Structure 1
Amino acid sequence: MLKDKVAIIYGGSGSLGAGVAAAYTEAGARVFLVGRTEATLRKVAEQTGAEYDVLDARDERAVETHATSVVERAGRIDVSLNLVPRGDFQGVPLAEMSVEDYTRPVVQGITCQFITVRAAARRMTAQGSGVILSLDSASGNGSPMLGGTGAADGAIDALIRQVAQEAGPSGVRACGIWTAGVTDSLTPEKLAAAGAPGMDETAVQGVRGHLDGMRMTKRSPRIADIAALATFLASDASRAVTGTWVNATAGMFPS
């Protein structure tokens, strides 16, 4: 589905990035992983056959320089996907949350997304084609006890819709994927970073079961499900899909 296409995955060293990278390379794409830690990037690259570059996707100069280098090496950029973590902090009522903990995912998330979206849009509009993708939890629809996650998701939702409108006449599509949690990507370390320290694997299994129970299908999306959807959205098979967010929450949020 992605034969001869060139894709960049920002935040590509995580479990979801690795899953999408594997799906993209299997579908025929040349994939460039971007992240800040070489060891984890190298591991994913070895597992998936992707290439990797070490940089901070929140550094606009570094992102612009890297995008130029990808075009020089591969000839074009067909797909740009941003999966960079935002520093979300959850599980505390808004009335008890600090300003910093609430605003951090909003500021870091929209800044990083804007930088990578802009870099992709500049090159894709020049070549007359391309797909810009993003992913969030769909909490812009409203979710209690998730701190700034809802505001961050809402901002990114709006960004993707706007760039789709502006770049669409040049042949560029922009779409997002709502997940409301990808359960097999959850780890004690990830949950601790989000404000739930001290959780062991048994506790994580409890979180996964709780998320499953909130879905219409009673089954949460898995990494393979999202990777397959991201492959479809990046392909010409979805050429009529743009300016929207695909609801892959398994019915947690109806739309």
Structure 2
Amino acid sequence: MLLENKTAVIYGGGGSIGGAMADAFAAEGARVFLAGRTPAKLEAVAERIRAAGGQAETAVVDATDAAAVNDHVDAVVEKTGSVDVSVNVITGEGNFQPLADIPVDAFAGAVARALTTQLITTRAAARHMVKQESGVLLFFGGSDPANAMAGMGNVQVGFDAVEALRRQWAVELAPHGVRTVTLLTGGIIDTFPDVPEMEGPRQGIINGSPLKRAATMSDVGAVAAFVASEKGRSITSTQVNISVGACYGG
């Protein structure tokens, strides 16, 4: 198995993307620690993993609280001996509106929250990874300046900001053997609400792919597990494109 005897921490582990990564990590042998703010959602993912024969534990953690995050990671390391993979799929509240229509506080607050939580969780894991001289920090979203489009509001701006943060972590942590990789997505339509208003965006993502299909949650998990494993050890300081060709950023 790709991640046998590895420890993975997932912030936002009760959500669809975090859950997909957790499923894949556990299926490849990782011991998965799911962190988030909604116990029922975390436990639902954990129960699914355990039913499939995997190992999963949950913890209610506010990922904007540095002390809480540090305490959680320290507890994970004390229990397992290491933190090998850390991924945070928490984003700020998305405003899919024209920029002129978004209140300044709402725009800036969402981007600030995304950056804050990413900084806190990455820093907490990096403390241990630097000591280990190993580890993988995964990010989700990515930056694709070639494909800017109207109506994205603060969403792509937030992804771009987090990607800039990831690049800075990459140069600072690479000398310590820590890899940093972003999964570049053009949108995971499995996660879209099943309402008529989303049919246009859903079809637009499919049409934007040369293969005329979109990445699934299963695809996200499979690529994340590969990148986090030793099979992906040559991949770092970059984005891995999981958009089925819809995004061109590298």
8 A Cα contact 2:135 2:177, kept in partner: yes
| Matched AA of 1:27 | E
Partner of 1:244: 238
1:122 aligns with 2:113: no
8 A Cα contact 1:162 1:243, kept in partner: no
8 A Cα contact 1:143 1:150, kept in partner: no
| Matched AA of 1:14 | G
Pick from 181, 185, 200 the counterpart of residue 175 of structure 1.
Answer: 181
8 A Cα contact 2:144 2:248, kept in partner: no
TM-superposed CA distance for 1:207, in Å, is: 3.3
Partner of 1:197: none
8 A Cα contact 1:232 1:238, kept in partner: yes
Partner of 1:194: none
C-alpha separation in 1, matches of 2:175 and 2:91: 31
Which shows bigger deviation, 140-149 or 214-223? 140-149
TM-superposed CA distance for 1:18, in Å, is: 1.4
Pick from 42, 52, 58 the counterpart of residue 58 of structure 2.
Answer: 52
- What RMSD over aligned residues (CA atoms) do the two structures have, in Å? 1.5
1:157 aligns with 2:158: no
CA-to-aligned-CA distance 1:8-33 (integer Å, 9 cap, x gap): 00000011111111111110000000
1:65 aligns with 2:66: no
CA-to-aligned-CA distance 1:148-192 (integer Å, 9 cap, x gap): 12221111111111111111111110110111210111125xxxx
CA distance 1:244–1:131, change in 2 (3 Å): same
Unaligned runs of 5+ in 2: 51-55
8 A Cα contact 1:88 1:101, kept in partner: no
C-alpha separation in 2, matches of 1:94 and 1:30: 42
C-alpha separation in 1, matches of 2:93 and 2:11: 15
CA distance 1:101–1:186, change in 2 (3 Å): same
8 A Cα contact 1:138 1:150, kept in partner: yes
| Matched AA of 2:157 | A
Question: Is the partner of 1:181 in helix, strand or coil?
Answer: coil
Partner of 1:101: 106
Q: Give the 5 Å matches for 1:205-224.
A: 205-224=199-218
Percentage identity across paired residues of the two chains: 39
Question: Is the partner of 1:251 in helix, strand or coil?
Answer: coil
Question: Is the partner of 1:77 in helix, strand or coil?
Answer: coil
| Matched AA of 1:24 | F
CA-to-aligned-CA distance 1:19-53 (integer Å, 9 cap, x gap): 11111111000000001011111111100131111
8 A Cα contact 2:94 2:153, kept in partner: yes
Partner of 1:196: none
| Matched AA of 1:98 | P
C-alpha separation in 2, matches of 1:66 and 1:219: 39
Unaligned runs of 5+ in 1: 189-199
Partner of 1:4: 5
8 A Cα contact 2:95 2:102, kept in partner: no
TM-superposed CA distance for 1:100, in Å, is: 2.1
8 A Cα contact 1:23 1:231, kept in partner: yes
C-alpha separation in 1, matches of 2:209 and 2:163: 21
Which shows bigger deviation, 233-242 or 147-156? 147-156
Task: Give the TM-score taking structure 1 as reference length.
Answer: 0.90
Which shows bigger deviation, 101-110 or 132-141? 132-141
Which shows bigger deviation, 12-21 or 206-215? 206-215
Number of positions where the alignment pairs a residue of Structure 1 with one of Structure 2: 242
CA-to-aligned-CA distance 1:118-141 (integer Å, 9 cap, x gap): 111111001110000010153555
Runs of 4 or more, structure 1, over 2 Å off, are: 137-143, 202-207
1:225 aligns with 2:231: no
1:111 aligns with 2:116: yes
Which shows bigger deviation, 244-253 or 110-119? 244-253
1:89 aligns with 2:95: yes
8 A Cα contact 1:137 1:179, kept in partner: yes
Partner of 2:190: 184
CA distance 1:136–1:235, change in 2 (3 Å): same
